[in-house]
Structure 1
């Protein structure tokens, strides 16, 4: 069996008939035929095989060509001094003015000086054309690589220079003269006739091997300009100069592809490539800092620069010196969180880990400030300043007139909220993404076992001070002086959520607390860290309760905004989708639009009775028994965004797009389409955080796959709750019975045990 041909054919529908006739072909089709192939831009791969050269070009110019990045780590001139086709792909290359590159061509790891023309559908790799006084232009020669050709250079062991190698895109080096072998797209007979070359010049007369390009001693080892001249001649572009070039070629030392591949100086080639990429990265990073808005991934550029080892660190230190004025730029144009992150990345590249760690705190403080500003909440004025002074306006807006000398007024408020499950779109709601780019989330609020599990009760007391009770843990704390509540909070403080709610609502500064107190109880019917947005929804319940008991505006929009600030204040971060999911009933599609203030648009889906019935029959809400707080995951994802990680940005964009598609699927009552969307969303979540799944979850989904059209973990993943969308009601029943009747599932290990919750739309 050919791993290359058979394995790939299993993913290509048009190849299935051929594959069925091959050994294990039917099994490969059954196992892989329904899987989708995706392209990744992975920085840490050491080796990647695409296929033949023509297959690479076909892939990059095919139906999904819009997904291909066509410029990366490159220096290209202005369009008025060069002719580089829009469809050309230029990667890790420096292109000089007066260069032409045709449609659908690839130039990789090269430096191309002026006077070079590269045709369409051609591949150029590792070519470094010198631009010195003895180069091409001064000799009045313009090198042209014809359409559908390949050109590359390699250093050889014991050779000071590099050998230029070339062939036609569709040449097969192993096709012999007698079997229609070609060189530069022409039959060997024509090549020999046109150039006046004899077979004995290329192949030994005593060899028993078939004569082909692989063993033809055709590539000369000469000075660079002479090799280029002979390359053009051998390609058939300078046949008029045969009389002068043929003797030069015959008298030169020549190598075949076979000999060349045995003699490549791989260490020299790798070092040269690394230094070339480091120089390009340094130039791009410098331009990004001096002229741009820091839109590049400086962390990745520094990794490329550090390939130069000692000199790489010096380059990074020079870049760090250029950042001294970044904080002085307009924060509306360059967010401070981004500016600080750039400095952190450069400090880490300079191996100044201690300074980087100290500055990292400013990154998260800046994110909190930017979030607060986006919801038009006076973060500095109302939260971070000393709370010794009380606010008359806060007092006047409360439910208790007179502030101090008033009779006790007993009030009770009870808030009960559902949990939320997200179908798709999570991460696009998280600051700073949602402060700078549009976000879209499709989620649903549900009761579990006929209960809205998250809630709070708040009542006034005759005794002053604030008593906070956590009914889940039976812990409580009494705060005699509410004005003593201040940030930053200890990360181990079990009451910091309620304390943060007291701060963002302004209750700690309200004068009514001088004559009475508050008793606050909180509870959650499900563990936190299970992906249901429990912490954010509890925060929403407490904020709503505090606003209600003080007779302030407790509308869902206000509460959602304040919770966004609250989570930054707590240091946990987080977006808006959890509180939106708990505050607004039913299924909803929510969009956020960046600006001041941040605009949230909640669009309820008017679900038909049939859709609700189908969902309740087909959707299983399963608790895996594992708990994983989202904070660490969130920090990694936010850091990648602040670094402008292109792969992360494209993944979150796709999640937002899938949310729109999911909305359409639900409006059309197409749950099968929703299942496909959930599967792609789950794949993207694993790209954003490789640890959002684990062996246990993989086994659960493997077990569920035959019964389901879609599945994913809710929230950030890593455990918690899973959504299993069955193919139909019968499949859902079979899967439920399988999980409930045989909870330990011995074939999956004795630890495999889950709980299926009965759920209902809230």
Structure 2
């Protein structure tokens, strides 16, 4: 997915180096110099330049159709937000949200914008392959996106009040056809909106438009593009306004006549629970950030314990040697040092200030920006919080809250003396002195109206001065970024030491580890056992990652992290020891059996540590194979005081007569690891028993019998059907009956989670609940160490009625992959708050809820689409989910399916296919039976299990 960015000219050549992004993925240019082209012309110019950079490998119109692209307009002078004019508002540093995990300490607006834009394009029809958005807004959607229909143009809108809508473009749609655009107005008055609300709904344009190649070609033409010459007429793009001219010509009853645009089909899609934050002015910089930070006030979701003196106070990439109080509201300090002799008030934006020992007093609304220029110079730019930097010098232009004429008068300077042209736009007026060493004397003279120092007046007059526009064009962004990185390096050490009142353990620790390793930052002290387990886990994994990045061995720290997780979960049953009592006649067999599970949506969200801090949502179903529950356990008493294990499917046997032998269960691959660990949890080990015995033999004598336990797993290893977890639960459930433990299904499933931690295989809770509980259901948990899902059963007719069931196929690929290796890598990402991992997992949670609703509606096609989306999400989380051998199978049949996925962790095992119809299902069977990938591959009959786990006696 290509990103095309229109940036300030000075940023274009340095963008990839500054942001460390791939040149193939990001293309940057700026609007043509010296001319205004508008949002439409800017889009056309950006597309043309991108095509040229692609060496014109295809004709332009063909190229328009070839790839998905996100276009972001992020140029402009940034007049009302001077602090981020040089680097562009799109790279504005945004503080970590205090309620969100996985964000980067040095995140910027672009980084926060892109995930939503990417999700929209992924969900859009292939014909809508160009997304256009603005670079000075942050748009968030707390719910999964609505379906995006086929159309020439789809515009995203939001429900807002009429008062807010008056400042934006507004879409009007008929109440009975709310997705069809009737017309669009730019900044209509409240009266105009009111006049149209009788039979229309209105939505605010949030600036996100999806356009088809057909619509893009018309936009190109309106911007002066010649299709025949494949260039702009006269060699220059025309001025054209996408939102102000193209927009009003759209719709069924457009307000502007333009036949080609009038004929385009235009749909409006509402952004569900949308949030719109503007970052266009100094005031919006602070107020938008404040609103975001307070979106969540539930203290259980806020890791840091610090209470700020005022919520509109933001300090990042900076050091402050003064105490901030509630009087310092509307404060933004970034990439700066505030020395101990500074005096601040309120409504300040302070950026770029190097380390200093100045004595400065800033009056309310005074802002300060120091910008590196060249190799060693610094441009001093003071301004007022509400300065707009527009208008002529002789007119209404203001600087430092005064008309420029007034400021000059106070300083005893004429425009002629200052070599200023009264007709100049203030953005282009040379006001800001350039110096190799900024001094407090010059700063005080600039910002204090009463300071009439003749020396500073003379210095200002003779200094080389830059205009705001020249600052944007001449800023040394590499120096600016380097200073920011130095401050951030200092911040890292302080944040880590002060972790209880900072965001340290909630940020992306993978990203933090890179900075700690690169800058050789001192690691924080290991956390003591009095701290929450989740913090200790993250701390150890962080130390392991730093060690690895420094080419040292971090294995011991990683092992500690997994050990703490293991112990935390195991401890949940330590206070509930078992007292096993024989509950069978000497000739009686207790027979337990369970189905396997199909996971449809939300897999991985049930895995610790993610579910411990976020909760999980999973949709799955219990399934029998070839008419049988494939996982079976047989337990009977024996006359010898020992334990005998047998595996019917493997043909193996093992006898155990000591606690040491029984506790030797941690080796993955051992045929009897599961029943050994299960018997320990059932009280046949001192760690989990109410009564302590000197030996296992003595305990079995007191118990009254030995134990014979036989297993049958009629499912291939690495199947992806939750076999090991469900077999573990089946063993525990059967033993609970045999030993008179009276565990309910929740207790059996929770102890299965503990058992898997004892085996070091890890894993989540969805497998055991999916197989033990019958039917089709949504399983949900809240954050917390004790994970006990709430089950919501679903109608099952999509899986039982012949017209649907006959379209569903289960195919064993013959390819196996151990889930433990996949699991360890993904869990590592969870420990380190990987931004990408957490974003995908949150989307998976929401996707599970959407799948739940789709099944309730009984829509087979939509369910198939959801299953396929689950498959895509799994691949995003782990690239190894779909190895080449599996893709070769899919290549043969995917044209016959609406959706498909490998069940479980992926990489192999069973493939679930949802065919387009019964004929397509027959074609799939024919194709794969004639061209199997290996000698083990085969189709397997399945049926929904209405019983789940069952236990009976002979």
TM-score between the two structures when normalised by the length of structure 2 = 0.57
C-alpha distance in 2, partners of 1:719/1:551? 39
Q: Deviations over 1:415-458 (max 9, x none)?
A: 33221111122233234444555332210112334443322333
C-alpha distance in 2, partners of 1:426/1:267? 43
Contact 1:76 1:94 in 2 (8 A): no
Structure 2: stretches of 5+ with no match in the other structure: 7-24, 28-38, 49-58, 72-99, 115-131, 141-205, 207-270, 278-287, 295-303, 406-413, 686-695, 946-954
Q: Deviations over 1:654-674 (max 9, x none)?
A: 433332332222111134443
SS at match of 1:422: strand
Question: Residue 727 and residue 167 in structure 1: after superposition, are their counterparts in 2 closer, same or farther (change >3 A)?
Answer: farther
Question: Residue 758 and residue 46 in structure 1: after superposition, are their counterparts in 2 closer, same or farther (change >3 A)?
Answer: farther
Q: CA deviation at 1:675?
A: 4.2
Q: Deviations over 1:379-425 (max 9, x none)?
A: 7x66xxxxxxxxxx53xx21258xxxxxxx22223333221111122
Bigger mean CA offset, 432-441 vs 273-282:
432-441
1:370 equivalenced with 2:588 (yes/no): no
Question: Superposition pairs for residues 446-457 of structure 1, below 5 Å?
Answer: 446-457=623-634
Q: Deviations over 1:79-110 (max 9, x none)?
A: 655744xxxx87645677465549xxx97645
Contact 1:589 1:663 in 2 (8 A): yes
1:4 equivalenced with 2:4 (yes/no): yes
TM-score between the two structures when normalised by the length of structure 1 = 0.70
Bigger mean CA offset, 90-99 vs 714-723:
90-99
C-alpha distance in 2, partners of 1:641/1:730? 43
SS at match of 1:581: helix
Task: Name the count of aligned residue pairs.
Answer: 666
Contact 1:464 1:514 in 2 (8 A): no
What's 1:386 paired with?
none
Question: Residue 696 and residue 544 in structure 1: after superposition, are their counterparts in 2 closer, same or farther (change >3 A)?
Answer: same
Question: Residue 378 and residue 570 in structure 1: after superposition, are their counterparts in 2 closer, same or farther (change >3 A)?
Answer: farther
Given candidates 685, 698, 719, the residue that maps to 1:530 is 719
What's 1:127 paired with?
352
Contact 1:685 1:692 in 2 (8 A): yes
Question: Superposition pairs for residues 19-418 of structure 1, below 5 Å?
Answer: 28=64, 32=68, 55-60=134-139, 64-65=274-275, 80=309, 83-84=312-313, 92-93=317-318, 97=324, 101=330, 109-110=335-336, 115=344, 127-128=352-353, 132-137=357-362, 143-144=366-367, 153-157=371-375, 159=376, 161-164=377-380, 184-186=389-391, 220-222=433-435, 223=438, 251-254=462-465, 268-289=479-500, 300-309=511-520, 312=521, 315-316=522-523, 319-320=524-525, 323=527, 326-327=528-529, 329=530, 334-336=531-533, 338-343=535-540, 345-346=542-543, 349=546, 357-358=555-556, 360-374=558-572, 376-378=573-575, 393-394=579-580, 397-399=581-583, 409-418=586-595
C-alpha distance in 1, partners of 2:106/2:850? 32
Contact 2:543 2:557 in 1 (8 A): no
Question: Residue 264 and residue 756 in structure 1: after superposition, are their counterparts in 2 closer, same or farther (change >3 A)?
Answer: farther
Question: Superposition pairs for residues 454-603 of structure 1, below 5 Å?
Answer: 454-481=631-658, 484-487=661-664, 489-506=666-683, 511=700, 516-553=705-742, 555-593=744-782, 598-603=787-792
What's 1:172 paired with?
none
Contact 1:637 1:688 in 2 (8 A): yes
C-alpha distance in 2, partners of 1:736/1:187? 76
Question: Residue 28 and residue 468 in structure 1: after superposition, are their counterparts in 2 closer, same or farther (change >3 A)?
Answer: farther
Q: CA deviation at 1:568?
A: 1.4
SS at match of 1:442: strand
Q: Deviations over 1:485-536 (max 9, x none)?
A: 1246334533212211222223575536987544433233332223211111
Question: Superposition pairs for residues 415-434 of structure 1, below 5 Å?
Answer: 415-434=592-611
Bigger mean CA offset, 421-430 vs 509-518:
509-518
Question: Residue 702 and residue 281 in structure 1: after superposition, are their counterparts in 2 closer, same or farther (change >3 A)?
Answer: farther
Q: CA deviation at 1:561?
A: 2.5
Q: CA deviation at 1:590?
A: 1.9
Question: Residue 753 and residue 572 in structure 1: after superposition, are their counterparts in 2 closer, same or farther (change >3 A)?
Answer: closer
What's 2:816 paired with?
627
What's 2:852 paired with?
663
Question: Residue 76 and residue 199 in structure 1: after superposition, are their counterparts in 2 closer, same or farther (change >3 A)?
Answer: farther
C-alpha distance in 2, partners of 1:512/1:142? 84
C-alpha distance in 1, partners of 2:107/2:668? 37
C-alpha distance in 2, partners of 1:116/1:702? 66
Contact 1:466 1:479 in 2 (8 A): yes
Q: Deviations over 1:17-51 (max 9, x none)?
A: x99x996557755864999xxx9967899997989
Question: Superposition pairs for residues 697-736 of structure 1, below 5 Å?
Answer: 697=886, 708-726=897-915, 732=921
C-alpha distance in 2, partners of 1:522/1:477? 12
SS at match of 1:320: coil
What's 2:944 paired with?
761
SS at match of 1:522: strand
Q: CA deviation at 1:578?
A: 0.7
Contact 1:427 1:652 in 2 (8 A): yes
Bigger mean CA offset, 276-285 vs 222-231:
222-231
Contact 2:379 2:466 in 1 (8 A): no
Question: Residue 83 and residue 266 in structure 1: after superposition, are their counterparts in 2 closer, same or farther (change >3 A)?
Answer: closer
SS at match of 2:645: strand
Q: CA deviation at 1:295?
A: 5.2
Bigger mean CA offset, 194-203 vs 424-433:
194-203
What's 2:199 paired with?
none
SS at match of 2:789: strand
C-alpha distance in 1, partners of 2:889/2:428? 54
Q: CA deviation at 1:629?
A: 1.6
Contact 2:808 2:915 in 1 (8 A): yes
Contact 1:434 1:593 in 2 (8 A): yes
Instruction: Report the RMSD for the aligned CA atoms in angstroms.
Output: 5.5
Contact 2:569 2:785 in 1 (8 A): no
SS at match of 2:566: helix
